[in-house]
Homo-oligomer: A and B are copies of this chain.
Amino acid sequence: MTSHGKLRREKGSLAEYESQMKDLRAQLTDQIKILDSQVEVKQQQLSDLSEFLRRRGDIESEYARALDKLTERFTHKTKKKEQWGQSVCQVWSVLLTQTRLESREHAALGDTCCNALTQRLTYSTEDTHRLHKRSKEVGIQMQDELLKVTTELQTVSALKTYNQYHTDCLIAEGKLKEAERLEERHTGKSAELGPGQLVGQRRSSVKKMERLMEKVMQETQLKCTKARNDYLLNLAASNAAMNKYYLQDVSTLIDCCDLGFHLSVERVMKCYLASRWRIQKTEEMGLKQLESAVTSLDQSGDRDALLQQHDAAFCLPFRFNYHPHEGDQVKLLAESQVRYELETRFQQLQSRLAAVTLETEEISKTLKATLAALLDNMCDSDSNPSPDVPSSLSHEPPGGGTLPKLTLAKRRANQQETETYYFTVNCTGFSLVGEN
């Protein structure tokens, strides 16, 4: 039964070892499979990024072309046109200049995306493929090393040798015990029969046999110890190799596969970002210039410029001169009778002037209020969407769209009413002041 138990244990430990080795092989194969799938994922990512950037580049180039065409169209038109309204022209000019610069920057982005970046990603794809192939080779080599260390060649043979010598050892031990038992029996018999030559001879042969057995057993034990030591050292080496492979080599292997991948993506994205930031900067500068031009819109300034430009038509042309007869004075003559008439007329004019001035002041106030209302109305005429809410985000219910339209029509009607009033009052002002 002891021999049976040993055999079972031996078989058990071999079976455990073999099952472990089977698992290990399966795991190593899985690892290579995962590396293979990883390289596919990476190449897909690179190809997606490349396609994305190429398409984005095309979109940017198309956008740039469209903006350029737009700018060209209006630049030619503006050059031919009579320059009126300096401040309005300035807004136009900045708008066109800014659009031209935008077009240029977007074209540069398009070019970068379509050429430099996709080229870089193509190289990166090649690199990834080649590095994967090489890494896989190295990986398989590493796995072979690991298997060599852990496989039967060393460990199993050490285990088997250990088991063999252990068995030998047990056999030798058994034989020694048998020899000792024999000797004891002979010693007992010889004590019964009394000492004799034959007994002495047999005894010495048993002793000899016993020593031989002891020597064999010691040798076997030594061999067994060595085998056990070898087995233990091999086990330690295998475990060390496993540790090294799993805790270091696998990471290194993946790092080799990934070599430069993140860096390439980073460089590509940084280049893309740099191009985008350039656009951002250009557009911000342009918008600020446009903002400043819009803030400088100046109705009075433009009116004065117009008056200066058409000086001949708008300057006060002359004074009506007094052509007196010789000896006539320029002053009014106010002799007795005439003086009375003049004084009466002066008083009439004064009271009329006072009335008109009062009326004019009233009208002036009304005019100012009307003008303010009119301008308010003009600027609110598009139902004034708040600039902080993009119009696409304010989803009106389909039926609700009619309400603002009505209000808008009403506003427009209001505006024209106010306008009519403004002009009527303004004309009254003109004619009142025109009379004398």
Contacts and interface: CB of A to CB of B under 8 A. Distances in A.
Contacts of A300: 255
A307 interface: yes
Given A30-B312, A119-B382, A283 B287 contact: no
Contact of A434 (B241, B294, B387): B241
Contact of A229 (B48, B81, B92, B342): B342
A409 to B, nearest CB: 11
Interface string A251-288: 11011101111111111011101111110100110010
Contacts of A298: 262
A393 B13 contact: no
Contacts of A116: 382, 385, 391
A112 interface: yes
Contact of A280 (B92, B287, B317): B287
A242 B419 contact: no
Interface stretch (A123-131, A184-192, A205-213): A123-131
A344 interface: no
Contacts of A175: none
A427 interface: yes
Given A325-B166, A392-B111, A299 B431 contact: no
Given A258-B303, A317-B20, A291 B265 contact: no
Nearest to A287: B276
A168 interface: no
Contacts of A159: 323
Contact of A84 (B38, B56, B231, B246): B38
Give me the 10 closest cross-chain CB pairs, A-B, nearest first.
A108-B390, A274-B387, A13-B323, A246-B316, A30-B313, A145-B434, A260-B378, A41-B84, A262-B299, A59-B66
Given A254-B306, A259-B375, 4 more contacts: A56-B99, A244-B433, A259-B374, A261-B299
30 contacts: A9-B325, A13-B323, A20-B318, A30-B313, A34-B306, A42-B85, A49-B92, A56-B70, A62-B66, A63-B63, A63-B66, A91-B269, A108-B393, A112-B391, A115-B391, A116-B385, A141-B430, A222-B335, A229-B338, A247-B316, A251-B307, A256-B426, A258-B303, A259-B371, A260-B375, A262-B299, A264-B379, A271-B385, A273-B287, A276-B287
